[in-house]
Each structure stands twice: as structure tokens, then as C-alpha cells.
């Protein structure tokens, strides 16, 4: 598959204005984006997602590393590189609330050098596609949050760039609108061959539409895998033990101390093992009190559980390294 974006060893340092404290927001991030995929850029709050996205679309100058878009170095050939990209940043602050829907669309097309006349056909098409027909002469400030978000994505599609970066596109949307946005994004990729990078905390959306996930934590990449592959990998490690008697407090503590993701409800122990040998460890804990096992089942996992486990494992690893 053809690489459309290559991020290599990206670094960004911020200096806090008040305290002069130095924050390494992005610390050597590398990943590739392939043409026609939806890539999820994920991580907990403060992980460095927005900083990475802003560096890719040329809104921030990184302190180190490089970003290539369609082969163009975004630092050395910025204008050529960013020509392939549009971005919708957090909280759709990139649209003008005092302008109407149509005025916004014409303004942003103009910003990209497309004349008002030349863009009319495309505007009609996008209004239709995003179900915004009939709203074109309303002020953005009078639209609902979901409509504003759809308009922001429509504006990103106006110049017809290959790549669209979306930072938290479903933040604050109700379930129905979030679903609508999700379906629209799938359509954009399937019907128009676009490439999308989406940063989100909405794990069901990742499971539903992303091909691959790049997970960052503390400014570093901790996973870069196919979403389906990650779920499968974790499914081989997720078990549910049904036991005859409730566990003693000591047993519960032993299990909880050893495993990061455990859920014990009465006679059921749901646990994600970190390695295969861990199965014997649980058996030993059960055996220590002669607890009878009724059955052992494999359980299904969703992407949210996978994400949480990866973050926890990463944090655990870090604290283990720090204490040495
Ligand atoms: N302008 C800034 N000045 C100083 N520090 C900043 C600035 N912008 C971001 N940071 C810091 O850089 C780190 C990464 O921030 P970033 O916004 O990239 O995270 P994020 O992954 O997008 O988080 P969230 O999920 O909360 O949106 C954080 O520690 C943040 O406090
Ligand atoms: Mg962010």
C-alpha cells in the first residue's frame, strides 16, 4: 500500500509561560499513514495527539523529526506538503460563528484559492451530503453542535484534498449525531477514496471505522496495529472463570494485585491475562482455598478494554523502569 504520510521521530517541546517549565509533548513519534485508510490516533488526555496533528498539518513547527506528505517535507516544502491536507481541530473553532453556513464555505474555499463561482457546485453537493440543505443561510451560531461539527467536516472536504485530519470529531455530540458523523466518514473513505486521521476518545467509533490505531502516551507511540488484530490478540487473553464458592478476600487481593484488568462479580472472575502462564497462576490462587471451578470461558473484548489495557501496561512498564 502506498504511504501518504510519514511521521519520523517527531518532537515538540513547549515552555510553560508562567512557570517556564519545559514539557516534552511529543517525544520521538513515528508512524506511517497509508492511502485510503482511516487511522485512529489515540491516547489519554495530554498524550500529545493534538500536538501531533497540528505538526502534521503545518500549524506547529516541531523541534525535531520530520513529516512527509506525499513525499514533500512539511518543513522544507511546507506549501506543497500542506496542499494535500485539511484539518478540523478540536471543538470546531475553525468556523466563523457570525457568518452563515454558505458564507463560511465560500470564505474557506477562497482561502484555498478557489473562487466563489467555481465552488458553488461543490457547496451544493456537500450541503446535500451532510444533510445541511435548508440551513445554508443560517448563522453558524444558531446551529446545533452536531450541525456545526458537520459543517466543519464539510469545509474540510471543500478543497478536495487527499487527507483529512479530524481532532475529536464526535466530542459533545449525542449518540444519533455521533452515529451519523461516523457513517459519513465511512462514506467519504469508501466512495471518495480519502485518507482520514482521526483523534478521539470515542472507542466504539475506533472499533467501528478505523483500520489501524496508533496509540500514544506521554508523547511516545506505545502501539501501532490493525484494530482488528489488537482485538483478536486480546481476545486470546480474556477469560471468565466461574467458581462454585465466592472467593476469600485474600484470593481477591492476590488476583487484583497481579492483574491489571479484573472484574470479580460474585462467582465470576473476568480477567485479561498478560501472558499464557498466568492461567496457571490463577489456578494456583483458586487451589490455595480448594475453590472449585465450574467452568472457564474465553470472553469477547471490545476496543475500549484493549485500549485501557495497553495504557495500563505501558504505565506499569514505565514505573517498573523508573524504580530500577
Ligand atoms: N500551547 C501549549 N503550551 C504549553 N504546553 C502545552 C501546549 N499545548 C499542549 N501542551 C502540553 O503538551 C502536552 C500534550 O498536549 P496535547 O494537547 O497534544 O494532548 P492531547 O493528546 O491532544 O490531549 P487531549 O486528549 O486532552 O486533547 C500536554 O502536557 C499539554 O499540557
Ligand atoms: Mg487534544
Kindly state the average pLDDT of the residues 192-201.
94
Residue 261, pLDDT score:
78
Residue 172, pLDDT score:
81
Q: How confident is the model at residue 322 (pLDDT cuts 50, 70, 90)?
A: low
Residue 312, pLDDT score:
84
Tell which residue, 108, 109, 149, 156, has the closest CA to residue 131. 149
Q: Are residues 165 and 217 both part of a single domain? A: yes
The proportion of the chain whose per-residue pLDDT surpasses 90, expressed as a percent, equals: 67
The answer as to whether 71 is a domain residue is yes
Q: Which of 12, 20, 49, 52 to mutate to test the pocket of ligand 1 (most atoms within 8 A of CB)?
A: 49
Which residue's C-alpha comes closest to atom 11 of ligand 1?
25
Q: How confident is the model at residue 39 (pLDDT cuts 50, 70, 90)?
A: very high
Kindly state the average pLDDT of the residues 236-240.
89
Q: Are residues 99 and 147 both part of a single domain? A: yes
Ligand 1 site, residue 166, Cβ cutoff 6 A: no
Q: Are residues 66 and 128 both part of a single domain? A: yes
Q: Are residues 216 and 241 both part of a single domain? A: no
Which residue's C-alpha comes closest to atom 18 of ligand 1?
48
* Residue 114, domain CATH: 3.40.50.300
Give the whole-angstrom CA distance, residue 65 versus residue 27.
10
Ligand 1 site, residue 218, Cβ cutoff 6 A: no
Q: Which of 47, 87, 169, 214 to mutate to test the pocket of ligand 1 (most atoms within 8 A of CB)?
A: 47
Q: Which pLDDT tens digit goes with each residue over 124-176? A: 999 999 999 999 999 999 999 889 999 999 999 999 999 999 999 988 888 88
Counting from 1 in the atom list of ligand 1, the atom nearest the Cα of 43 is: 21
Q: Are residues 209 and 155 both part of a single domain? A: yes
Q: Are residues 245 and 221 both part of a single domain? A: no
Q: Are residues 118 and 221 both part of a single domain? A: yes
Q: Which pLDDT tens digit goes with each residue over 69-114? A: 999 999 899 989 999 999 998 766 678 999 999 999 999 999 989 9
Q: Are residues 144 and 280 both part of a single domain? A: no
* Residue 315, domain CATH: 3.30.70.1560
Residue 324, pLDDT score:
52
The answer as to whether 37 is a domain residue is yes
- How many structural domains compose the chain? 2
Kindly state the average pLDDT of the residues 3-11.
97
Q: Is the pLDDT of residue 48 over 60?
A: yes
Q: What's the whole-model pTM score? A: 0.87
The answer as to whether 231 is a domain residue is no
Ligand 1 site, residue 14, Cβ cutoff 6 A: yes
Q: Are residues 147 and 192 both part of a single domain? A: yes
Residue 319, pLDDT score:
62
Q: Domain range holding 10? A: 3-226
Q: Are residues 148 and 112 both part of a single domain? A: yes
Query: Distance, CA 190 to ligand 1 centroid (Å)?
Result: 32
| 274 vs 43 pLDDT, higher one | 43
Q: Which of 22, 23, 42 to mutate to test the pocket of ligand 1 (most atoms within 8 A of CB)?
A: 23
Query: Distance, CA 45 to ligand 2 centroid (Å)?
Result: 7
Query: Distance, CA 161 to ligand 1 centroid (Å)?
Result: 27
Q: Are residues 209 and 242 both part of a single domain? A: no
Beta strands in the chain (DSSP E): 3-15, 22-34, 38-42, 64-69, 72-73, 85-88, 163-167, 195-199, 212-217, 220-226, 238-243, 262-265, 268-272, 293-298
Residue 233, pLDDT score:
84
> Who's near 315: CB < 8 A, 6+ residues apart?
217
Ligand 1 site, residue 100, Cβ cutoff 6 A: no
Amino acid at each position: 500500500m502506498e504511504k501518504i504520510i510519514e511521521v519520523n521521530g517527531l518532537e515538540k517541546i513547549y515552555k510553560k509561560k508562567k512557570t517556564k517549565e519545559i514539557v516534552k509533548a511529543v517525544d520521538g513519534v513515528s508512524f506511517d499513514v497509508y492511502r485510503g485508510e482511516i487511522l485512529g490516533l489515540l491516547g489519554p488526555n495530554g498524550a500529545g495527539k493534538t500536538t501531533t496533528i497540528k505538526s502534521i498539518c503545518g500549524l506547529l513547527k516541531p523541534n525535531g523529526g520530520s513529516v512527509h506528505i506525499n513525499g514533500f517535507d512539511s518543513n522544507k516544502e511546507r506549501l506543497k506538503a500542506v496542499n494535500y491536507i485539511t484539518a478540523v481541530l478540536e471543538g470546531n473553532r475553525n468556523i466563523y460563528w457570525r457568518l452563515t453556513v454558505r458564507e463560511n464555505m465560500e470564505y474557506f474555499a477562497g482561502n484555498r484559492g478557489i473562487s466563489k463561482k467555481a465552488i458553488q457546485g461543490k457547496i451544493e453537493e456537500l450541503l446535500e451530503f451532510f444533510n445541511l440543505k435548508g440551513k445554508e443561510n443560517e448563522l453558524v451560531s444558531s446551529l446545533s453542535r452536531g450541525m456545526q461539527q458537520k459543517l466543519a467536516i464539510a469545509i474540510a472536504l471543500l478543497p478536495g484534498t487527499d487527507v483529512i485530519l479530524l481532532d475529536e470529531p464526535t466530542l459533545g455530540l449525542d449518540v444519533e449525531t455521533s452515529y451519523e458523523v461516523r457513517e459519513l466518514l465511512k462514506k467519504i473513505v469508501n466512495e471518495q477514496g480519502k485518507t482520514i486521521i482521526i483523534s478521539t476518545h470515542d472507542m466504539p467509533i475506533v472499533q467501528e471505522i478505523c483500520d489501524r490505531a496508533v496509540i500514544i502516551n506521554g508523547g511516545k507511540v506505545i502501539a501501532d496495529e490493525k484494530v482488528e488484530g489488537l482485538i483478536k490478540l486480546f481476545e486470546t487473553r480474556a477469560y471468565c472463570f466461574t467458581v462454585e464458592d465466592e472467593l476469600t478476600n485474600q484470593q481477591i487481593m492476590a488476583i487484583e494485585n497481579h492483574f491489571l484488568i479484573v472484574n470479580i462479580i460474585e462467582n465470576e472472575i473476568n480477567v485479561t491475562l498478560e501472558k499464557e502462564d498466568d492461567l496457571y497462576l490463577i489456578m494456583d490462587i483458586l487451589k490455595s482455598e480448594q475453590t472449585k471451578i465450574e467452568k472457564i470461558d474465553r470472553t469477547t473484548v471490545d476496543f475500549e478494554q484493549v485500549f485501557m489495557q495497553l495504557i495500563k501496561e505501558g504505565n506499569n512498564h514505565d514505573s517498573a523502569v523508573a524504580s530500577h
